[in-house]
Chain A
C-alpha cells in the first residue's frame, strides 16, 4: 500500500494532476462560499457553459493558425470567454431586471450549444469534447499546470485578501453601497474570480461538474458551522480532501476523476448530514437558556399556564420578537 502510494507520487502525470487537484480543492470552495452567500450558487454552472464556447473558439483559432496541438489555445480561450461571460452575468444581475433570468438562460444554452458546434467545425472529436465537459486530468501538461498555478494564486489573492470587503458586499449589498465601498468593482472581482476558478477546475472535474466543487463543500460546511469564516475554512478542507482522494482513487480504478471527486463530495455531505444531529445536540447541551434575560411586559394570566419557557427541550430558536 505504502509502496503503491509512493509509486503514484513519482508518476509525473499523477504529480501534475495532484497539484492541479489540490489547487482546485482550495480555490473552488473559497469562491463557492461567496457565491452561496449571494445566492448565486448556479453561477459556476453558467460560466462553465460559456467557457465551453471559449474552448471551442480557442480551438478554432488554433486550428486556423495551424498550431500543432490544435487545442493549444483552448484554455486561454476558456479564460477569456469565462471572464467575459461572468462580467456580463454580473451586469445583468446588477440591472436587476426581471428579464435577467431569461438573459442568463440564453447565455447558458447558447454557450454550450455554440461550444459543441464550434468544436465540431474546428475538427474536434467526441472524445475531445468529453474531455472538456467531464475533465481529463491525464492531459494536463506542464504549461497547463503553470497557468493553473498562476490563476490559482490570483484567486487566492483576491478571495482571501479581500475577504472582509467581499463578505460585506455579499452579505448586504445595500449597506455596502451606503458605506461608500466600491461595490461594483468588488462584484466584478467575485465574478472574475469565479470565472478563473471555472477554468482552473475545468481540467480536473470538467465544465459540467465545476459548480459542484464550488457548492457541495460549502453545503457540507454549512451543516456544521455558524460563522462565515469557519464555513469557508471547513469547505476548503472538504474540497482538498475530496479532490486529492478522488483523483488518487482513479490511479487504481479506471473511473472518471471528475465524477469520482463529485460523488465523493456528495457522500461526505450525506455522512455529515446524518451525523449532524449528534453534533448539534451536543453543542446545544452545553448551551444555556438562549432566551435573553430581560424583563418582558407580558402580563401572564395565571402562573400555571406559562407559554414561553420551553427553551431547552425542543431547541427552537430564541423567542422571536
Chain B
C-alpha cells in the first residue's frame, strides 16, 4: 500500500550542506486529546535545518492536530515539543517561526485589509507594537504572493485562494527560518500553485526549513526532501516522499480547479496511495 520506504531522508537541496545539526522541530511522543477522543497517539517528528518535510495523510488522520500542537495552539496530554532548540513556550524565538493555519472561511466581524492582516505577522513574542517600516515590509510580503495591488482591499473581498495567499504573506513577513504550513494550496488554482512553489523554492534555496501539510505533493513535489505519513494519529511512514505515479502531472488539474467546469472528468487519484 505504502510507497517504498527509504530508510534515510535523501535529496537535501543542493545548496544546503547535508550536515545534520540541531533539529529545528523536535517532537517526542506527542499525544493530543480533543473532546473525548485521543487524536494523536505518541507522534515523534524531527525536522532538521534545510529540510522540506511533507506531512501527508488522509482527511482526519491528525495532520492539522499535529501542526497545531507543534505551534502551541493545542495542548498536549503527553510528549514534548522543541522549536529551534527551545521548549515550546516563551523561550522560543518566535520571530524565526512562520505558521500558516489551514484556512477557515469564517470572517471576523470587522473588515480588515490584506495589509492589516499581513502586518499582524510582524508581532511575535513580546513584540506588541509594529516596528518602523512595517508598511514597506508588509507590501514586500504581499508582493511575494502576488497581491501587492490588493493591499488596501478588505480580505472579505478576496477569493478563497487569495485569502490563503494573504495568510502565507502574514507568515512570510517576519522572514522566518522555519515555516509550518497547513494545506497552503488546498483550493488554490493551478497558476497560483505554481507561483507558490516558485516562491517556496527561492526561500528554501536561501535556507528556509519547511514543514508542510499536503493532501498531495503537487507542484511542491520537487522540493520535498522527506515525507511523514500519518494514519489514525500515528506515523506510519517517515522517509522518502512517495514517487509520483504515471499521470501525476495531470493531478493538479483534476483536483484544484478554479472553476468546477473542468473539461476532463475528475478522476479520483490513487497515485500516492495515501488518500483513502
Q: Which residues of chain A have a CB within 8 Å of any CB of chain B?
A: 33, 36-39, 41, 161-162, 164-165, 167-168, 170-172, 174-182, 186, 218, 222, 225-229, 231, 290, 292, 294-299, 301, 307-308, 317-321
Whether B152 lies near A321 (C-beta < 8 A) is: no
A38 in contact with B109 given A168-B123, A227-B152 (CB within 8 Å): yes
Whether A177 lies near B73 (C-beta < 8 A) is: yes
| Bound CA span A290–B116, Å | 20
Interface majority SS on A: helix, strand, loop or mixed?
A: loop
Select from chain A the residue with minimum beta-carbon distance to B67: A178
Residues of chain B within 8 A of A180, CB atoms compared: 72, 90, 92, 94, 97, 124-125
A227 in contact with B108 given A177-B71, A294-B192 (CB within 8 Å): no
Question: 4 additional contacts, CB 8 Å, given A177-B72, A180-B97?
Answer: A165-B129, A178-B99, A181-B128, A228-B113
Can you pick out 5 interface pairs between chain A and chain B where the beta carbons lie within 8 Å of each other? A179-B124, A180-B125, A181-B128, A227-B115, A318-B158
Specify which of B110, B167, B180 is in contact with A36 (CB 8 Å cutoff).
B110
Proximity string of chain B (86-116) to chain A, C-beta cutoff 8 Å, 1 when within and 0 when not = 0000101010010101000000111111011
Specify which of B101, B123, B257, B258 is in contact with A165 (CB 8 Å cutoff).
B123
Select from chain A the residue with minimum beta-carbon distance to B109: A36
Listed from nearest, the 10 A-B pairs whose CB atoms lie closest are A321-B161, A180-B94, A178-B71, A168-B120, A226-B154, A178-B99, A165-B128, A37-B110, A179-B124, A228-B112
**Does B271 sit within 8 A of A, measured CB to CB?**
no
Specify which of B71, B90, B111, B253 is in contact with A228 (CB 8 Å cutoff).
B111
Whether B113 lies near A321 (C-beta < 8 A) is: no
Residues of chain A within 8 A of B231, CB atoms compared: none
| Bound CA span A226–B188, Å | 24
| Bound CA span A318–B165, Å | 15
| Bound CA span A161–B130, Å | 11
Whether B159 lies near A179 (C-beta < 8 A) is: no
Whether A218 lies near B101 (C-beta < 8 A) is: no
Residues of chain A within 8 A of B111, CB atoms compared: 222, 225-228, 231
Whether B170 lies near A319 (C-beta < 8 A) is: no
Whole-angstrom distance between the Cβ of A179 and the nearest chain B Cβ:
4
Whether A175 lies near B170 (C-beta < 8 A) is: yes
Specify which of B113, B124, B167, B263 is in contact with A181 (CB 8 Å cutoff).
B124
Candidate in B111, B117, B261 with the most chain A CB atoms within 10 angstroms: B111
Whether A39 lies near B258 (C-beta < 8 A) is: no
Whole-angstrom distance between the Cβ of B90 and the nearest chain A Cβ:
7
Residues of chain A within 8 A of B167, CB atoms compared: 175
Select from chain A the residue with minimum beta-carbon distance to B102: A174
Specify which of A167, A171, A181, A320 is in contact with B159 (CB 8 Å cutoff).
A320
| Bound CA span A318–B115, Å | 18
A321 in contact with B160 given A164-B129, A171-B120 (CB within 8 Å): yes
Interface majority SS on B: helix, strand, loop or mixed?
A: loop
| Bound CA span A148–B73, Å | 38
Whole-angstrom distance between the Cβ of B215 and the nearest chain A Cβ:
16
| Bound CA span A226–B154, Å | 5
| Bound CA span A182–B259, Å | 41
**Does B190 sit within 8 A of A, measured CB to CB?**
yes
Whether B108 lies near A37 (C-beta < 8 A) is: yes
| Bound CA span A176–B121, Å | 9
Whole-angstrom distance between the Cβ of A114 and the nearest chain B Cβ:
30
Whether B261 lies near A307 (C-beta < 8 A) is: yes
Whole-angstrom distance between the Cβ of B75 and the nearest chain A Cβ:
11
| Bound CA span A229–B109, Å | 13
Q: Which residues 222-276 in B have Cβ within 8 Å of A in the complex?
A: 253, 257-259, 261-263
Q: Which residues 197-242 in B have Cβ within 8 Å of A in the complex?
A: none
Residues of chain A within 8 A of B259, CB atoms compared: 296, 298, 307-308, 319
Select from chain B the residue with minimum beta-carbon distance to A320: B159
Whether B123 lies near A222 (C-beta < 8 A) is: no
Whether B109 lies near A321 (C-beta < 8 A) is: no
Whether B116 lies near A172 (C-beta < 8 A) is: no
| Bound CA span A162–B124, Å | 13
| Bound CA span A162–B187, Å | 35
| Bound CA span A172–B92, Å | 20
Whether A226 lies near B157 (C-beta < 8 A) is: yes
Select from chain B the residue with minimum beta-carbon distance to A299: B263
**Does B189 sit within 8 A of A, measured CB to CB?**
yes
Whole-angstrom distance between the Cβ of B66 and the nearest chain A Cβ:
13
Residues of chain B within 8 A of A37, CB atoms compared: 108-110, 112
Residues of chain A within 8 A of B11, CB atoms compared: none
Whole-angstrom distance between the Cβ of A141 and the nearest chain B Cβ:
36
Whole-angstrom distance between the Cβ of B254 and the nearest chain A Cβ:
11
Whether B192 lies near A321 (C-beta < 8 A) is: yes
Whether A319 lies near B159 (C-beta < 8 A) is: yes
| Bound CA span A320–B123, Å | 30
Residues of chain B within 8 A of A290, CB atoms compared: 157
**Does B119 sit within 8 A of A, measured CB to CB?**
yes
| Bound CA span A115–B171, Å | 48
**Does B7 sit within 8 A of A, measured CB to CB?**
no
Residues of chain A within 8 A of B129, CB atoms compared: 161-162, 164-165
| Bound CA span A57–B125, Å | 40
Whole-angstrom distance between the Cβ of B216 and the nearest chain A Cβ:
17
Whether B157 lies near A39 (C-beta < 8 A) is: no
